[in-house]
Amino acid sequence: MKNLIFSLLIFHVTFVFSQEKTWKGINEQGQELFEIQAKQVSSFKDGMARVVKLVTMGNKIYSLEGFIDNSGRLIIEPQYDKIKGTGFVNGRAWVKKKGDKYWTLIDKRGNIIPTKNYEDVGYLFPFNKSVTAVYENRRMGFIDYNGVEVIPCKYVGASAFEEGLANVAEYDKQNYFGFINEQGEVVIPFKYKQTGTANFMKSGFARVKIGGQSALIDKAGNVVIKTSKGNIQGVSNNWIRLFTGNMLNNWGFMDFNEEFKIKPIYESLSDFDEYGHAVAEKGGLKGLIDTQGNTVLEFKYSAFSSNPQENGYYRAEYPSDYSSSKRRVDYFTTSLKKMENSQVLHIYPAEGGRLIPFSNIDKKHGYLNRNFEIAIPAIYSDSKPFNDGLALVAE
């Protein structure tokens, strides 16, 4: 979700002061398929891309958003002042026109899906195929994709269902959390404190507090493990990630027999990713360790961006050198091959695509494959990530 919000912020910042220019749709071979005129565009999501165009209303010119499909055809005319999240997800998008108080739900033809009046709505998530969060008087509920409120607005907690369940509490009883399904049925009673918005993980477990101790439960509500050895934060590699210190420090991994597999010696520690790497912190600096506890990227970085399967790389930033305005950054492939091409200045998230956008020292944009080899030369002034084999680039 953090990546989604960050991408949206970048999108808004970049188009505010620009004029319309030519954007081209290209495939992964760099062939140009169509061109459009727009002030700014997004990457394709759910077969649609947001486009910002200049629209005259009265004696004023506004930057308004609409949508094109993957053939470059303008399907929904620019008319929206705000679009929630990245746009279309599962065939629906939340939009607002200038001056609107409430959000409007639309389909891919721009047809309005009737809903109640909601001043606040949740993000649409691709893994929630049937419902999305809405809010009334700060209370959360859920509507289906036909706009019908199927779970009344009476909760606080997680705005998404993961592994089929959402961790919520009744608004007037926020000290006690439980889990509901997408039909609004209470599957695990409201009896847990301090679960916050911690949903079920891919491992099939959720973390809770029982009698002051950290615990994991399964989707039937059965206690899988309860420990006094630390505060459970996640599960990966079939191990439990936890911290044992009082100040959110001394992080490590233990197995379900409460034996430490990675000693709790780190100041912070992520879950293991799909490639068997975890970001760890030691002495105020970050590096990567593997599942044996070996250091695979040394502890010399101040910040580490690690979503390699989605982004296509690891990004490691050195501590600030206040004598220079430039940030020193290393990029690594998922197999930890370092970017050595001195012409590559920045690499941008692939958002799940096979090719990775980059810019060079001349501020031109192109694409790398996931081995950091040039796939499409840097000949563009701007570029967006590939989705379903299609990307938008500017001349």
Checking if the pLDDT of 297 tops 60, the result is yes
Tell me, what's the pLDDT at 193? 79
Tell me, what's the pLDDT at 248? 81
| CA distance linking residue 145 with residue 285, whole number of Å | 45
Determine how many CB atoms are found less than 10 A away from the CB of residue 227: 17
| CA distance linking residue 200 with residue 207, whole number of Å | 8
Average pLDDT of the segment spanning 10-39: 81
Average pLDDT of the segment spanning 164-193: 91
Encode pLDDT of 319-364 as tens digits. Answer: 987 655 678 999 999 999 999 999 999 999 999 999 999 999 999 9
Encode pLDDT of 136-159 as tens digits. Answer: 999 999 999 999 999 999 999 999
Q: Which residue has the higher pLDDT, 195 or 207?
A: 207
Average pLDDT of the segment spanning 209-237: 92
| CA distance linking residue 43 with residue 50, whole number of Å | 8
Tell me, what's the pLDDT at 175? 78
User: Average pLDDT of the chain?
Assistant: 92
Question: Which two three-digit tokens encode residue 326?
Answer: 């430039």
Average pLDDT of the segment spanning 176-185: 94
Global pTM? 0.89
Tell me, what's the pLDDT at 246? 82
Tell me, what's the pLDDT at 322? 62
Q: Which residue has the higher pLDDT, 132 or 174?
A: 132
Q: How many helices (H) and strands (E) does the chain have?
A: 2, 37
Is residue 50 within 8 Å of residue 58, measured between CB atoms?
A: no
Indicate the SS3 state at residue 99.
coil
Is residue 91 within 8 Å of residue 145, measured between CB atoms?
A: yes
| CA distance linking residue 313 with residue 112, whole number of Å | 39
Average pLDDT of the segment spanning 5-34: 73
Is residue 315 within 8 Å of residue 329, measured between CB atoms?
A: yes
Hey, which residues does 285 pair with through a beta bridge? 282
